[in-house]
Chain A
Amino acid sequence: MRMLRGNYRMFLIAVALSLLFALLPLPTWLAVMKPMSLALVLTYFALEAPEIAGLGHAFVLGLVADVLYGSLLGEHALRMVILVYLTLRFRHRLRFFPIWQQAGAVFALLLNDRVLDLWIRMMSGSSWPPLLFWLSPMVGMAVWPWVFLLLDGLRLRRRQAQRERH
Chain B
Amino acid sequence: MMGPGSNTQAPLFAGGRPGTLKLVVLLALAIMLMLADRQRGFLVAVRERAATLTAPVYWLASLPLAGIEAIHLAARDRDALANENRALREALLAAQTELHQRRSEGEAHARVLALVEATRRQAVAGTLVRLVDLDLDPFRHRLLLDRGSDAGLARGDGLIDAFGVVGQVSAAGANSAFAILITDPSHALPVEVSRNGVKSIAYGTGDATRLALPNLPLSVDLSVGDRLLTTAVGGRFPAGIPVGEITAVERPTDAAFAIAYARPLSGLGRNRELLAVKPIEWIGPPEPTLPPGRSTPLPSAVDQEP
Hey, which bits of chain A sit against chain B, CB under 8 A? 3, 19-20, 22-26, 28, 31-32, 34, 49-52, 54-59, 62-63, 67-75, 77-78, 81-82, 84-85, 88-89, 91-92, 120, 124-127, 129-130, 133
Contacts and interface: CB of A to CB of B under 8 A. Distances in A.
Contacts of B65: 24-25
A55 B43 CA distance: 23
A139 B290 CA distance: 48
A26 B62 CA distance: 11
Nearest to A118: B139
Nearest to A75: B34
Interface stretch (B17-25, B84-92, B106-114, B274-282): B17-25
A55 B50 contact: no
Nearest to B134: A23
Q: Would you call the interface of chain A mostly helix, strand, loop, or mixed? A: helix
Contacts of B31: 74, 78
Contacts of B226: none
B61 interface: yes
Contacts of A88: 16-18
Contact of B57 (A3, A68, A85): A68
A59 B26 contact: yes
B137 A71 contact: yes
B185 A130 contact: no
A60 to B, nearest CB: 8
A75 B29 CA distance: 11
B97 interface: no
Nearest to B137: A69
A67 B47 contact: yes
Interface of B: 1-2, 4, 7, 10, 12-19, 22-23, 26-27, 29-34, 36-38, 43, 46-47, 50-51, 53-54, 57-58, 60-62, 64-65, 133-140, 142, 144, 171, 178, 185-186, 205-206, 304-306
A72 B46 CA distance: 12
A28 B57 contact: no
Contacts of B62: 23, 25
A26 B1 contact: no
Contacts of B136: 23, 69-70
B58 A74 contact: no
B138 A74 contact: no
**Which of A69, A82, A91 is most buried by chain B, counting CB atoms within 10 A of its CB?**
A69
Nearest to B304: A125
Contacts of A55: 15, 18-19, 22-23, 26
Contact of A78 (B34, B46, B54, B60): B34
B14 A70 contact: no
Nearest to A124: B305
Given A57-B13, A74-B31, A25 B18 contact: no
A56 B13 contact: yes
A67 B54 contact: yes
Contacts of A20: 57, 60-61
B61 A56 contact: no
Given A59-B30, A127-B206, 6 more contacts: A24-B134, A25-B62, A74-B37, A77-B33, A125-B186, A129-B139
14 contacts: A19-B57, A23-B62, A32-B139, A34-B138, A51-B14, A54-B18, A55-B19, A75-B34, A78-B27, A88-B17, A125-B186, A125-B304, A126-B206, A129-B206
A72 to B, nearest CB: 5
Contacts of B50: 67
B37 A89 contact: no
B303 to A, nearest CB: 10
Contacts of B64: 24
A93 B205 CA distance: 44
A56 B12 contact: yes
A88 B37 CA distance: 29
Contact of B22 (A22, A32, A56, A120): A56
A130 B37 contact: no
Contacts of B135: 22-26, 31, 34
Given A54-B14, A55-B18, A88-B18, A23 B34 contact: no
A124 B31 CA distance: 12
B43 A73 contact: yes
